[in-house]
Structure 1
C-alpha cells in the first residue's frame, strides 16, 4: 500500500485531527485571512522523540513512523504559525496525539471506500493530475518532475491521487456537500472586521480589514471546511466503533 497514508489532502487530515483543538484561520484569527506572521529564526522544530516505528494498526493495516513523520512535519509548520500569530505556545505532545488520531481516522476512510467499492479510473486520475498541475501553474510534466525530486515517482503520485479521489467520493456519498448561506458568510465577515478593529485599537499601523467582496470566496471555503470537518470526524467516529485499532502513541 505504497504511500497511501500521505494521499489525503492536509485539509482532510486536519479535519480528522484538529477539529476540536485547532479551528480554521477565519474562526481563531480572521486577520490571518489577509496576512500571516513569518516564523522567527529561533522557532521550535518538530519533536519526534519517542514516536514508535509502528504508530498504530487499523484492522491489520500499519501506520508507520515514516507515515506519521511526513504528515506531522507539515502540520507542525502550519499549526506553529497559527500559535505564533495568536501568541500561544504549541503543545507538541498534544499535536503528536492528534496527528496519530487523524491518521487512524484517515485509514478508516480509505478502508471504507474500498469496502464500498468506490474506485477512481485511469481517466479520473489523468484529469485529477492535470488539475493539480494547473492549480500549481505548471505543466503535468513539470509537476511530476517536482514530485520526483521530492521522492515520489509518477506511480506513487497517481496512487495518492487515486486514494484521495476515492475517499473524497466516499465523503460526498455518505456526508454530502455543504454550501454556506449568505447569512453565515456575513456573520463570519463580521468576526473578521471585529478582529481587525481590535487589532487597530492597540496598533495604529494595523492593516484595514479587506472588503467582504475580497474575502467572500475564502470565507466560504473556510466555513465549508469547518462544517465538513465536523461531519467527517463524526463519520470516522462511527467507523471506529466496529474497527480493530491499536495505537502506540
Structure 2
C-alpha cells in the first residue's frame, strides 16, 4: 500500500486541534510555568551564542505496533499511524525548536492515536448516516488543500501527491471520505454564524493578546478590519467544538482498543 501522504495532511490538523484542546485545559498552570521556563532559558542562552536553536529532533517510531488501534473491529495500522504522526511531528517539532522546550513524543503519539480513532469513528458514522460526496465538493476540497499547501492548482497538488506514491484514485477516495465527514460535522454543528457579541468577545481577546506581546505584536487592526478574520475564527471554533463533542459521544458507545 502506498504511503498515505494526504491522510497525514488532514490528520495533522486534527491532531493539532486535539493538542490545542488539551493545552487549553491547563492554560492557567501552563502559562505561569511557561513564563518561568522561558525566562530561565533566556538567561541560560545569553552566554551560549545569539541566534542558536536546539537541533531539530527526529520522529521516534521504533516501538509502534503493526496494529495501533482497533475501532469497532476496524484496524488502524502502523502505516496509517506513521503517516499521520510524521505530519503532526514536523509541525510540533518546529514549535518546540522555536520555544526551546523539548517535544514529548510519547504524548504526541497518544494524541495521534486518539485523533486517528476519532477520525475512524467519524468516518464510520458518516457512512452509517449515508452521506454522499459529489464531484464538485471533492474538487472544492482539493482546491482548498492545494491553496493551504501553497500550490497554484489542484493539478499541481495531485502531481505532488503522485510523486509521494499516491495515485489520483487514492486521493479522490480519501477526499470522498473527508467530504462525508465534513458534512456530518456541519450537520452536528448546526448554525455556526457568529453573533455580534461573539465577534466583539473575540476581538477583546485579540486586544488582550496584543497587549501581552507589546511592540512585537505590531499594530492592532480596527474591529471592522479584523471582522472577516474573526468571523472565520469563531466559525472554526464552533465546528471544532462540535467535532470534539461528537467524537466523545461516539467513543462512549464504541469498542476501541489502543495498543500504544
- Confirm or deny a common fold (TM above 0.5): yes
Given the superposition, is the C-alpha separation of residues 183 and 77 from structure 1 closer, same or farther in structure 2, using an over 3 Å criterion?
farther
Match of 2:153 among 139, 143, 146: 139
Match of 1:232 among 235, 239, 243: 243
What pairs with 1:190-209 in structure 2 (closer than 5 Å)?
Answer: 190-200=204-214, 206-209=216-219
Give 3-state SS (helix, strand or coil) of 1:152's partner: coil
- Report the equivalent of 2:232: 221
Give 3-state SS (helix, strand or coil) of 1:21's partner: helix
- Report the equivalent of 1:80: 93
Deviates more, 1:218-227 or 1:2-11: 2-11
Give, in angstroms, the shift of residue 147 of structure 1.
1.5
Q: Kindly indicate whether residue 171 of structure 2 is the aligned counterpart of residue 169 of structure 1.
A: no
Q: Kindly indicate whether residue 25 of structure 2 is the aligned counterpart of residue 11 of structure 1.
A: no
Deviates more, 1:232-241 or 1:71-80: 71-80
Given the superposition, is the C-alpha separation of residues 54 and 224 from structure 1 closer, same or farther in structure 2, using an over 3 Å criterion?
same
Given the superposition, is the C-alpha separation of residues 137 and 87 from structure 1 closer, same or farther in structure 2, using an over 3 Å criterion?
closer
Q: Kindly indicate whether residue 105 of structure 2 is the aligned counterpart of residue 105 of structure 1.
A: no
Give, in angstroms, the shift of residue 13 of structure 1.
4.2
Given the superposition, is the C-alpha separation of residues 179 and 85 from structure 1 closer, same or farther in structure 2, using an over 3 Å criterion?
farther
Higher relative contact order (CA 8 A, sep 6+): 1
8 Å contact kept, 1:12–1:229: no
Deviates more, 1:163-172 or 1:91-100: 91-100
The number of equivalent residue pairs is: 232
- Report the equivalent of 2:40: none
User: Counting helix residues as a fraction of each chain, which structure ranks higher?
Assistant: 2
Give 3-state SS (helix, strand or coil) of 1:57's partner: strand
What pairs with 1:13-162 in structure 2 (closer than 5 Å)?
Answer: 13-15=15-17, 17-22=18-23, 40=53, 42-84=55-97, 88-130=101-143, 132-133=145-146, 136-162=150-176
Give, in angstroms, the shift of residue 248 of structure 1.
0.3
Give 3-state SS (helix, strand or coil) of 2:257's partner: strand
Quote the Cα distance in structure 1 between the aligned partners of 2:52 and 2:194: 32
Quote the Cα distance in structure 2 between the aligned partners of 1:178 and 1:236: 18
Quote the Cα distance in structure 2 between the aligned partners of 1:137 and 1:80: 23
Quote the Cα distance in structure 2 between the aligned partners of 1:21 and 1:53: 27
Unaligned runs of 5+ in 1: 30-37
Give 3-state SS (helix, strand or coil) of 2:62's partner: coil
Quote the Cα distance in structure 2 between the aligned partners of 1:167 and 1:154: 20
Given the superposition, is the C-alpha separation of residues 190 and 71 from structure 1 closer, same or farther in structure 2, using an over 3 Å criterion?
same
8 Å contact kept, 1:7–1:163: no
Quote the Cα distance in structure 2 between the aligned partners of 1:206 and 1:131: 31
Let me know the Cα RMSD of the aligned residues: 3.2
**Structure-1-length-normalised TM-score:** 0.77
**Structure-2-length-normalised TM-score:** 0.74
Unaligned runs of 5+ in 2: 25-29, 32-50
Q: Which runs of 4+ in 1 moved over 6 A?
A: none
Quote the Cα distance in structure 1 between the aligned partners of 2:57 and 2:9: 27
